[in-house]
Structure 1
Amino acid sequence: MGNISVRSNKLVLEFRAQGIRCREQTRLLDTPKNRKRMEKLLTIMEAEITLDTFDFCKYFPTSKRVAKFAELQQRKQTAYHHFNSTDAPTLKAFSETWFNEKEIEWRKSHKQSIEGILESHILPAFGKMKISAIKKQDILTFRAGLAKVQTRTKSNLSPSRINHIMTPLRMLLNEAADRYEFTSPWKNIKALKIPRTEVNPFSLDEVECLINTAPDDFKPYYTVRFLTGLRTGEIDGLHWDKVDLDKKQLYIDQSLVKGEMTDAKNDGSHRVIKLTDRVISALAAQMKATKHLGSFVFCKKDGKHFNYQTISRVIWEPMLKRLNLKYRNPYQTRHTYATLLLAAGESPEWIAQQMGHSTTTMLFRVYSRYVPNLTRQDGSAFDRYIKMKGEIHA
């Protein structure tokens, strides 16, 4: 919204047009009549700015900003003629150019993700449209449609997934707008708000039941998942040369992502995990079963790595059904590990290191409500500490 100010007893119009902040002084004295006149003028100008029909030079022909706005208008006209010609690029045509230029920057897994989004969502909706013809309303309608898409489990796409799908579209439109000098329709479109991370950990009793229910050749796999907090890609990509049973350690520096071994998720994910005796026993049993098959700790009978989607559908989901447990994705094994460590009273700093977090912030933000000792708010622990005169020992 624009406003009216005063300088040297003369009225000044303040507004923003085409991304430029303007402050134009008039020759009108600050009187009620002149203020009313300027308010009416400002209302008309703001309407034109909203409709993209505002001509700065018409209102302020002697302003020092005339040249700047004339340049912007010329660029706009050039882009308009280019994109409304018969050979104007479609989004599909431009996406091919953009993809070929960008793929050198991406990991194979990210490249495949972008390809999937383009083929499944963006190109079917916008592929045949001239890139200049895509409007803000088209984008919002497309996003609203994504909210109605159902997954294999009959649930709607999450806000996080919708944002992930929208990102390549935003990049395409903004890059084209910058390259061909037109105004991107991606204006004031905010990403959907992501709800708090869904954490639904299992109790210790449920963990024991799940491990016992697992097929014999998968008992070590789920023991390690539940008692190390490894991410799916980390455990499925775990190699024997990263396992040191004598030192009771795992060395995590890589992950299996869409069938390809890549570096770990981030710097914090490079870590050494201390193993309990139970995990050591599980890995020792697994060593007898699979070490002769190849480099993967957990693998199929031919030595090839697991497909996490297949394992989830064939092993994980039937386990939950047999125990009449509400469905939770396999990643909850990691959340379970964190909550069990916190409940056991382990140091938050040590837990964060085990999990591959750079700080303890996420631990308290995500997991604290599942640990009674951390969520108690009655002051009893502090009261006991005072009564013991600070002599409480761990």
Structure 2
Amino acid sequence: MGAIRARKETGLLFIDFRWEGKRCREQTNLRDNATNRRKLEKMLQQIESEIKLGRFDYRRFFPESKTAESSVFNASPIKPVGSALNTNTVDGSGQKGPLFSIFIEEWLVESQITWRRSHQVNIRGMIDKYYLPAFGALGVGAITRADLLKFRSSLAKVSGRNGNVTLSANRINKIMDPLRRVFEEAADRYDFTTPFVRIKPLKVPRSDVQPFTLTEVRLIIDSVRPDFKNYYTVRFFSGMRTGEIDGLKWKYVDFERRMIMVRETIVAGEEDYTKTDSSQRDIAMCGPVFDALENQYRATGAMSEYVFCNLQGLPIDHNNITKRVWYPLLAHLGLEKRRPYQSRHTAATLWLAAGEAPEWIARQMGHANTEMLFKVYSRYVPNLTRRDGSAFERLLLANSNRDSMGDSV
């Protein structure tokens, strides 16, 4: 067990603990009083916890320590943005808040009660991977705007996922946004000005959707394995999100009213509330969807509460299905590799192309309003709907003809 001790000659506290069979002692410039002891005890608890979990990074807690220079560290893509404990005042009386590592754990406990499980996991991952390596050993009130900008710049050097060389601007913004809320809460609680001033989100390139054509949809459905034909038929013609269709239960399929009631979703393998309140909706079944669900009921209706399930009656694993079925099928058909989520975009563009009312489409998709349709989807369908200015031309031409007839009379 580690301990918080004070040097007799200076009266300053130091942390005393064991790591990798060696005694480690790290000096601070904090005076020996109850407040400072509590702060360091919390830090020591975190250190010992991470040692037990096998993820202790000496340099993250003590970046200027000589011991850190001679130790073997856990690799981290983010380096500390400033010095460690020496950012605190000597006697603690003017210190604006606790160590960042202590405050963010408090913030996490207080905040996560309002989050879905997947978001909790996501935030925990960002705290461990990005926030603590950079700010963990600093006082939360001592972190500056320059530190945050330096941190953001370091994120741009981190390798991205799926073969990307670096993190995308969108991903960096998503990492920075929770951090903004952390400092807003700390500033309000400990009466200091948040360093998150004049730090605007990075500009994100406009997202591009790649819907399939109706001909491509027919080709995919006709060519896919028979046991997945119903699944992809529903995906393409209902506009459901991946988690919504994977979590769909038979009790939410109303054959009499020809409605699919979206009430739950599967997120990270767990049942959860839908993405937003507007996502709670009733989707009208078109003919192909109705027929596909009837066929599926004969296959799984008696074995599981889930519409699409594995042999054990559990929800299907969409990542597994995507790798084993979806991508190999696209390659076999010579179609461009696209995420299965494009089936949702396809439904929206096909509805628009058919001339359905935007308000109805928005309700089917689970959008709060029609903004998304006009912002993202409508540009794919002008030539199909002939809503490309030609209707206006016909109006002008008709009016011109009437004027000409009037002049001749």
TM superposition score normalised by structure 1: 0.71
SS at match of 2:376: helix
- Assess, with a 3 A threshold, how the Cα gap between structure 1 residues 215 and 105 changes in structure 2: closer, same or farther: same
Unaligned runs of 5+ in 1: 1-78, 390-394
Aligned twin of 1:95: 104
Deviations for 1:48-106, whole angstroms, at most 9, x for unmatched residues?
A: xxxxxxxxxxxxxxxxxxxxxxxxxxxxxxx9667698997332222111111222222
Given that 1:83 and 1:132 are in contact with CA atoms closer than 8 Å, whether structure 2 keeps it comes out as: no
Q: 2:124 aligns with which of 111, 115, 124?
A: 115
The amino acid across from 2:335 in the alignment is L
Correspondence for 1:166 among 173, 176, 191 = 176
Equivalent pair of 1:271/1:354 in contact (CA under 8 Å): yes
Structure 2 Cα separation of the partners of residues 97 and 82 of structure 1: 23
Distance 1:268 1:88 in 2: 39
For the structure 1 residues 190 and 287, does the alpha-carbon distance in structure 2 shift closer, same or farther, using more than 3 Å as the test? same
SS of the equivalent of 2:302 reads: helix
Aligned to 2:381: 371
CA–CA distance in structure 2, aligned partners of residues 133 and 350 of structure 1: 52
Q: Which moved more, 1:338-347 or 1:170-179?
A: 170-179
1:83, 1:119 → 2: CA distance? 27
Question: TM (normalized to structure 2)?
Answer: 0.69
**Matched residue, 1:266:** 276
Aligned to 2:136: 127
Alpha-carbon contact 2:145-2:196 (below 8 Å) kept: yes
- Are 2:322 and 1:312 aligned? yes
Aligned twin of 1:380: 393
Shift of 1:233: 1.3
Q: How much does 1:183 deviate?
A: 2.8
Distance verdict in 2 for CA 1:127–1:213, change over 3 Å: farther
Secondary structure at the aligned position of 1:272 is classed as strand
Could you tell me how far 1:142 is from its partner in structure 2?
2.2
Q: CA deviation at 1:124?
A: 2.6
Contact 2:96–2:190 (CA<8 Å) still a contact in 1? no
Q: What's the CA shift string for 1:274-307, capped at 9, x where partnerless? A: 1122111211221122222221111111111123
Q: 1:323 aligns to what?
A: 333
Task: Say whether the 8 Å CA contact 1:343–1:371 is kept in structure 2.
Answer: yes
8 Å CA contact 1:82, 1:88 repeated in 2: no
Going from structure 1 to structure 2, the CA distance change for 1:322 and 1:121 (only over 3 Å counts) comes to: farther
Give, in angstroms, the shift of residue 167 of structure 1.
1.8
Q: Per the alignment, do residues 87 and 276 of structure 1 end up closer, same or farther by CA in structure 2, a change over 3 Å counting?
A: closer
Residue 219 of structure 1 corresponds to which residue in structure 2? 229
SS in structure 2 of the partner of residue 321 of structure 1: helix
- How big is the shift at 1:377? 6.0
Q: Contact conserved, 2:306 with 2:313, CA < 8 A, in 1? A: yes
CA contact (8 A) 1:368 1:375 kept: no
How far apart are the structure 1 equivalents of 2:207 and 2:198?
Answer: 26
Q: Structure 1 residue 140 and structure 2 residue 149: aligned?
A: yes
Amino acid aligned to 2:293: L
Separation (CA, whole Å) in 1 of partners of 2:150 and 2:333: 42
Deviations 1:186-234 (A, max 9, x none): 1111122333332111111111222233222111111100000001111
Specify whether residues 375 and 308 from structure 1 end up closer, same or farther in structure 2 by C-alpha distance, changes over 3 A only: farther
> Quick one: which amino acid aligns to residue 142 of structure 1?
F
Cα-to-partner distance string for 1:309-330 (whole Å, 9 max, x where unaligned) = 3332332222222223222222
Contact conserved, 1:369 with 1:375, CA < 8 A, in 2? no
1:240: Cα distance to partner? 0.4
Structure 2 unaligned residues grouped into runs of 5+: 1-87, 403-409
Please point out which of 245, 249, 252 is paired with 2:262.
252
Q: What SS class does the counterpart of residue 141 from structure 2 fall into? A: helix
Q: Matched residues in 2 for 1:142 and 1:220: separation?
A: 48
Q: Which amino acid aligns with 2:145?
A: K
Shift of 1:252: 1.2
2:163 alignment partner AA: K
Map 1:1-394; keep pairs closer than 5 Å: 89-155=98-164, 156-373=166-383, 374-376=387-389, 379-383=392-396
- Whether the 8 Å contact between 2:214 and 2:350 is mirrored in structure 1 is yes
Secondary structure of 1:185 counterpart: coil
Deviation of 1:385 after TM superposition, in Å, equals 6.7
Deviation at 1:259, TM superposition (A): 2.2
RMSD: 2.7
1-structure distance, mates of 2:296, 2:303: 11
Secondary structure at 1:94's aligned position in 2?
helix
Shift of 1:381: 4.5
Percentage identity across aligned positions? Answer: 45
Number of residue pairs aligned between Structure 1 and Structure 2? 311
Moved more, 264-273 or 143-152: 143-152
C-alpha spacing 1:87/1:340, structure 2 compared with 1 (3 Å): closer
3-state SS of 2:321 partner: helix
Q: Shift of residue 387 of structure 1?
A: 8.6
AA at the equivalent of 1:119: D
